[in-house]
Structure 1
Amino acid sequence: MAKQERAARTREALVRAAAEVFAEQGFVTASIAVISRRAGVSAGGLHFHFGSKTALAQAVEDQAARALRGVTVGGVGASAGGSALQVLVDSTHALMGLLADDVVVRAGFGLCADASWSGGVDLRRQWRLWVEEVMAEAAREGSLAEGLSPRDAARGVVAATVGLEVLGAHEPEWVAPHTLTRFWTLMLPRLAAVGVLGGLMPEGSAGSV
Structure 2
Amino acid sequence: MARQERAIRTRNALVESAAVLFDRDGYEVASLATISARAGVSSGALHFHFPSKAALADAVVAAAGDRLLRITREREALPLQTLIDASHELVQGLGSDAVLRAGFALSAAPERTRTDRDLRRRWREWVEGIVVRSERAGLLAPDVTAGDVAAAVVAVAAGHEALGHQDPRWLERAPLTRFWAFLLPRVVGAARVGLFVAAGDRERVPGGDQEPVPAELPQAELPS
TM-score w.r.t. structure 1 length?
Answer: 0.91
Correspondence 1:11 to 2:17: no
- Looking at structure 1, the residues matched to 38 and 118 of structure 2 have their Cα atoms a distance apart, in angstroms, of 26
Cα gap change, 1:190/1:58 in structure 2, threshold over 3 Å: closer, same or farther?
A: same
Residue number among 141, 162, 168 corresponding to 2:164 in the alignment = 168
Task: Tell me the residue number matched to 2:101.
Answer: 106
Root mean square deviation of aligned Cα: 1.6
1:140 is aligned to 136
What's the CA shift string for 1:52-109, capped at 9, x where partnerless?
111100000001001101111xx3xx22x33221110011111123222211011101
Instruction: Pick the aligned partner of 1:90 from 85, 88, 92.
Output: 85
Deviates more, 1:34-43 or 1:151-160: 34-43
CA distance in 2, matches of 1:206, 1:70: 16
Alpha-carbon shift at residue 38 of structure 1 (Å): 1.4
- Helix, strand or coil: the match of 1:198? helix
Which sections of structure 1, spanning at least 5 residues, go unmatched? none
Query: How far apart, in 2, do the equivalents of 1:145 and 1:26 lie?
Result: 44
Alpha-carbon shift at residue 170 of structure 1 (Å): 4.2
What whole-Å deviation, never above 9, does each CA across 1:166-200 have from its counterpart, x for those lacking one? Answer: 22244321110112211211111121133321211
- Structure with the larger RCO, 1 or 2 (CA within 8 Å, 6+ apart): 1
Task: Identify unmatched segments of 5+ residues in structure 2.
Answer: 206-224
Write the letter of the residue equivalent to 1:157.
V
**Displacement of 1:150:** 0.7
* SS in structure 2 at match of 1:10: helix
Asked if 2 retains the 8 angstrom alpha-carbon contact of 1:94 and 1:208, the reply is no
Shift of 1:16: 0.5
Corresponding letter in the other structure for 1:83: L
C-alpha distance in structure 1 between counterparts of 2:88 and 2:67, whole Å: 13
Is the 1:85–1:135 contact (alpha carbons within 8 Å) kept by the matching residues of 2? Answer: yes
Give the distance between the partners of 1:60 and 1:170, measured in 2 at CA: 23
Q: Percent identity?
A: 45
The correspondence of residues 164-203 of structure 1 with structure 2, limited to 5 A, is: 164-203=160-199
- TM-score norm. by structure 2 comes to 0.85
How far apart, CA to CA, are the structure 2 residues paired with 1:89 and 1:42?
A: 43
Give the partner amino acid of 2:93: L
- Report which stretch shifted further, 82-91 or 128-137: 82-91
